Structure 1
Amino acid sequence: MDFNIKNMLQLRTFVLMLLLGGVFISCESDLDVTPEDDDELLADGFFENEGAYKQALAGVYANLSLTSINDPGGSNIAGLDAGTGQYIRGLFNLQNLSTDEVIWTYENDPGLRGMQRNTWSSDNPLILGVFARASYEIALANEFLRQTTTEALSGRGESEELKATIQTYRAEARVLRALANYHLLDMFGKAPSVTENDAVGFDQVPELVGVDLFNFIESELLAALPDLIAARQNEYARVDQGVANMLLAKLYLNAEVYTGTARYADCITVCETLIGSGYSLTPNYLFNFMADNNTNGAQNEIIFPISNDGTNTQNYGGTTIIIQGEVGVPENNGESLGVNATGFGGLFRVRPEFSRLFTSNPLYRNDSRNTLITADRTEEINNVGNTAEGYIITKFSNRTSTGGFGSDRTFTDTDYPLFRYADVLLMYAEATLRGGGGSTAQALGYINELRERAFGNTSGNITQSQLTLDFILDERSRELYWESHRRQDLIRFGVYSGSSYLWSYKGGPQTGTAIPQFRELFPIPNQSLSSNANLTQNAGY
């Protein structure tokens, strides 16, 4: 890949430039970063090389993949386990593990029992991991933007040609910052209000809450769009107009939750832009989740991948934890998934409510999205610690589309598809049903396009009368499971809290119980409250 996001040294260089060049990213205790290197790089010296600007931008991207400037077992955020603090693993923990899609076997691991039983508190380390890593992404983007102002570039005597290129880099950084703020909005309802125009640090900055944070994210994306490269025209895994529009579509789809005001018409408008941007469904659904999904055709469907590379971006999050965690005990089927035979010892199973999306109707036996392994297993999980109870899945794989293996059997090559074109089709259909003004006939066509890909023919197609919001919620899970959307979807459909939909271990007991509405947001971590007096705790905590 030309951009070399997958080269760990680029993040290492940028982080060292920031930390050892006298530019301290944060004074907040949960964001303390300790360099373990003797190199000293000053910002001015670093940017003497024109290529350093691209290197520095790669560092902002790499924070979505890596946890350390040194090795996969380290964390550059103090107080966080190397895996717990990884960006995608954090999203998976909060967006999937807290729902009906998956359960973690080893509940004695810090924070896990509270997360998957919806009984977390403000000292849960999994929650800290997400809040801190997203805040760190904002800090990295801010510092890149500080170092690339017109004044800074002119002071270094940079050419007008380079300035024009860097303007695109700056737009990408703004979108990455908006992405982190979007995740904070979705999961916490608020974020520290800090940009490149503020003093460095998070210790005394005000917070943006609800509508104000929504408006900031929207304005940032709209402002960045004209300076971004057109959709699908940038280098692989870099932000382009498609990524910015996808973020806008997700923002508008959930606007009623975030702000109390529906924006479904805007969601449809942006989805139509994305549909006209040249994306397409890869013919084989599972190609989206293989070790060569950057080259096997899935790159036409994946709007924004988070890079994983078994050689250069080794970490215990991303698709490494997902694929290693898929491996079953006693099956020891890791070889078929391209990892070690025993994987990570049966970390994950799926809850029976998710299984039944495929098992309750014989039609779904022929659905290519159905990757359940059911043989010699019970669908119910009577004992969370019993690895033989509950079905397992094989959706993600470290094997290639041609049958080969990733470059390493521990750390995977499979890029994580944070956003896919399939979701655009689903969003269009849902926003149409919610009164956004789209075409119901077109919505049906998009859903059947997904199902024809899933079934290989028209046997799974539905009729107009079958296209309901309840159907959409189930279909979103069948299409997007384990892709960090489920909690958000359940909240938007009004069934995450309360008792209208119970799943196994929701709220604690195996039969499930109602959870209060305040748990639709996570608490602000205690460490963050302690270090920034302007942050306030969410209601209920």
Structure 2
Amino acid sequence: MKTIKKLLALTLLISVFASCTKDLNIVPEDDQTTLSEKLFENETAYLEVLAGIYANLSLTGTDGAGSSNIQGLDPGTSQYGRVLLYLQTLSADQMIWSYENDPGTREIQRNIWTAQNPLILGMFSRASVSVAFANNFLRETTTEKLDARNVSAATRADIVNYRAEARLLRALSYYHLMDLFGKAPLVNENDPVVNFNPPQADRQQLFTYIESELTAIEVDLKDPMTNQHGRADKAVAWMILAKMYLNAEVYIGQAKYTEAADYCIKIINGGYTLATNYADLFMADNNTNSAVNEIIFPLISDGIETQNFGPTTVMVNGSVGSIEQNGTPLGVGAGGWGGALRLRREFVQLFDASVFNTDARNTIISGSRDIEIRDISDQDQGYILEKYSNAKSTGGFGSDQTFVDTDFPLFRLADVYLMYAEAHFRGASGTNTDLAFNYINLLRTRANNPQNNLSMSDFSNNNEILNFILDERARELHWEAKRRQDLIRFGKFTGGNYNWAWKGNGSNGISISADLKVYPIPNASLASNPELKQNPGY
């Protein structure tokens, strides 16, 4: 049993004031959202309330996978990891979702979204709920509140760490809002709860706020790899900062590659090691197999305790082909979801060279399929992928044949290796070319790729190396909610210098507007907070 899973399942809504989500004009659906002083008579309640913030990353409500604690939002369009996957991956060149009647998917994967899109609303709202949950926890753990409750010294010592984790989870949500939307309502625990419309913060303001929060709490977070599975530590804070610095030119128009590399080294020195086998990272026991040494922060999944239609459940069931009926070895029903997910041609072609024939990252199934997807509704067109599974590395399968036990690896060491290499070749000072190639070669060696001794002599210029790193990031990190951000950083998401199948709603891809580098603020959010202003182009 994953250590924190039962706690997550039990405390998602216990941890919320009925009013707390009004911080961000989000309406809770459940009526059992009342915190009282009676709850805190038992000092274990503080960890339970903290677990509610974590639970928002996995669950959508307290009454099973089909419940939602956000009024008006379907759980399938508002699960944190799933909507993050859709907005970062389905919008780019790796994935196609067959069932375009599912709300919002057609517009996202064809890059024709509007401010009415329910998946965009789901992401904005779910991240905002995380902020509200964190703010509520921080209000309930002030010195004044703890004094009034006569909280013991031992629990107070723990609460220092708990508060740091709450602030980190709030920063994580603001990081996603900054990246995806470019702006967000900025609110903290000191702001009023009732009759308050949070002011809008732009990317520069959000960047500064997140950076200041993460550096301030570092001392109070647990050291890397010392917290419970599924809980955040210093390395998670460092990872968010490294991501921000790597993308700083996009976010704030300033190059911060040296800072990105510095934080990558801090993470690498935190004791993480690569999983023995690439497949271990995406299996039902990735909380106990060799993946635990590589995964820096997972989004928890469990087929019994935390049933949800999150990213791993979607990707495992969706990877079962309509022709292949390959669900049994993946640990789900034989027919799965019948070809719900398939691969765009451009991603498949990244594995065309013969050196990828034995590469463990190449889990593409072609069979009798056509590489082209001319009709998105035809599940027999396009190759499929078997990256994620509900099988265990030791044999056997997860606890349920629909809802998988596989955690979603939001952050992991392999990404850090590639970030360091990219930062180096983008001009970071104090970095090392040999070390950059060593990190790339370690990943290729782990993947059983025979081309695992790359060096400067294999490339003619820096631009060629950077384009190689972009491709290698796709090969290593595909379907991990990274691709949109990567393409934007490399100047290949909008415009027409790189097109992919169904980009811009053209079967072979067409140019799309630069405005699409950020998503629109949802109309529902604009209506509820007059302080918010729409992004240009929407």
Normalising by structure 2, we get a TM-score of 0.96
Do structure 1's residue 118 and structure 2's residue 115 form an aligned pair?
no
Secondary structure of the corresponding residue to residue 436 of structure 1: coil
Secondary structure of the corresponding residue to residue 366 of structure 1: coil
Do structure 1's residue 173 and structure 2's residue 166 form an aligned pair?
yes
Give the equivalent residue in structure 1 for 2:417.
Answer: 425
Do structure 1's residue 475 and structure 2's residue 475 form an aligned pair?
no
Residue of 481, 488, 491 corresponding to 1:491: 488
Do structure 1's residue 390 and structure 2's residue 382 form an aligned pair?
yes
* 1:401-440 aligned within 5 A: 401-437=393-429, 438-440=431-433
Do structure 1's residue 530 and structure 2's residue 527 form an aligned pair?
yes
- Structure 1 residue 474: Cα displacement: 0.2
* 1:114-263 aligned within 5 A: 114-200=107-193, 204-263=197-256
Aligned partners of 2:29 and 2:68 also within 8 Å: no
Secondary structure of the corresponding residue to residue 103 of structure 1: strand
Do structure 1's residue 511 and structure 2's residue 473 form an aligned pair?
no
- Structure 1 residue 33: Cα displacement: 1.1
- Structure 1 residue 120: Cα displacement: 0.3
1: distance between equivalents of 2:329 and 2:513?
41
Cα deviation per residue 1:157-212 (whole Å; 9 max; x = unaligned)? 11222211101000000000000000000000011110001112696110110111
Do structure 1's residue 264 and structure 2's residue 269 form an aligned pair?
no
- Structure 1 residue 367: Cα displacement: 0.4
Q: Runs of at least 4 residues of structure 1 off by over 6 A?
A: none
| One-letter amino acid of the counterpart of residue 533, structure 1 | P
Aligned partners of 2:50 and 2:162 also within 8 Å: yes
Instruction: Mark the CA change 1:203 to 1:512 in structure 2 (over 3 Å): closer, same or farther.
Output: farther
| One-letter amino acid of the counterpart of residue 369, structure 1 | R
1: distance between equivalents of 2:126 and 2:394?
35
| One-letter amino acid of the counterpart of residue 540, structure 1 | G
Give the equivalent residue in structure 2 for 1:297.
Answer: 290
1: distance between equivalents of 2:24 and 2:208?
25
1: distance between equivalents of 2:281 and 2:73?
30
Secondary structure of the corresponding residue to residue 41 of structure 2: coil
- Structure 1 residue 43: Cα displacement: 2.3
2: distance between equivalents of 1:259 and 1:324?
39
Instruction: Mark the CA change 1:201 to 1:392 in structure 2 (over 3 Å): closer, same or farther.
Output: farther
Give the equivalent residue in structure 1 for 2:30.
Answer: 35
2: distance between equivalents of 1:321 and 1:64?
15
- Structure 1 residue 339: Cα displacement: 0.5
Give the equivalent residue in structure 1 for 2:355.
Answer: 363
Secondary structure of the corresponding residue to residue 409 of structure 2: strand
| One-letter amino acid of the counterpart of residue 277, structure 1 | G
Give the equivalent residue in structure 1 for 2:462.
Answer: none
Once structures 1 and 2 are overlaid, which stretch shifts more, 401-410 or 192-201?
A: 192-201
Aligned partners of 2:24 and 2:132 also within 8 Å: no
2: distance between equivalents of 1:201 and 1:411?
38
- Structure 1 residue 34: Cα displacement: 2.1
2: distance between equivalents of 1:260 and 1:142?
30
Secondary structure of the corresponding residue to residue 83 of structure 1: helix
2: distance between equivalents of 1:323 and 1:243?
26
Give the equivalent residue in structure 2 for 1:3.
Answer: 4
Secondary structure of the corresponding residue to residue 168 of structure 2: helix
| One-letter amino acid of the counterpart of residue 482, structure 1 | W
Secondary structure of the corresponding residue to residue 112 of structure 2: coil
| One-letter amino acid of the counterpart of residue 293, structure 1 | N
Secondary structure of the corresponding residue to residue 295 of structure 1: coil
Give the equivalent residue in structure 2 for 1:55.
Answer: 48
1: distance between equivalents of 2:34 and 2:70?
20
- Structure 1 residue 341: Cα displacement: 1.0
- Structure 1 residue 400: Cα displacement: 0.3
Cα deviation per residue 1:325-360 (whole Å; 9 max; x = unaligned)? 11110211111110111112221101000000112x
Cα deviation per residue 1:266-304 (whole Å; 9 max; x = unaligned)? 001111111111000011001000000000010100000
Normalising by structure 1, we get a TM-score of 0.96
Cα deviation per residue 1:85-127 (whole Å; 9 max; x = unaligned)? 0000000110000000101111222211110010100000010
Aligned partners of 2:50 and 2:137 also within 8 Å: yes
2: distance between equivalents of 1:201 and 1:375?
58
1: distance between equivalents of 2:13 and 2:496?
47
* 1:271-282 aligned within 5 A: 271-282=264-275
Give the equivalent residue in structure 2 for 1:352.
Answer: 345
| One-letter amino acid of the counterpart of residue 495, structure 2 | G
- Structure 1 residue 25: Cα displacement: 2.0
| One-letter amino acid of the counterpart of residue 26, structure 1 | K
Once structures 1 and 2 are overlaid, which stretch shifts more, 193-202 or 128-137?
A: 193-202
Aligned partners of 2:23 and 2:132 also within 8 Å: no
- Structure 1 residue 423: Cα displacement: 0.5
Task: Name structure 1 gaps, 5 residues minimum.
Answer: none
Aligned partners of 2:24 and 2:128 also within 8 Å: no
- Structure 1 residue 41: Cα displacement: 5.0
Percent of aligned pairs with the same amino acid? 51
CA RMSD across the alignment: 1.4
Secondary structure of the corresponding residue to residue 183 of structure 1: helix
Residue of 489, 497, 503 corresponding to 1:500: 497
Aligned partners of 1:203 and 1:533 also within 8 Å: no
Task: Name structure 2 gaps, 5 residues minimum.
Answer: 460-464
Aligned partners of 2:185 and 2:532 also within 8 Å: yes
1: distance between equivalents of 2:350 and 2:226?
37
Residue of 35, 39, 46 corresponding to 2:39: 46
- Structure 1 residue 7: Cα displacement: 4.1
Give the equivalent residue in structure 2 for 1:521.
Answer: 518
Once structures 1 and 2 are overlaid, which stretch shifts more, 1-10 or 332-341?
A: 1-10
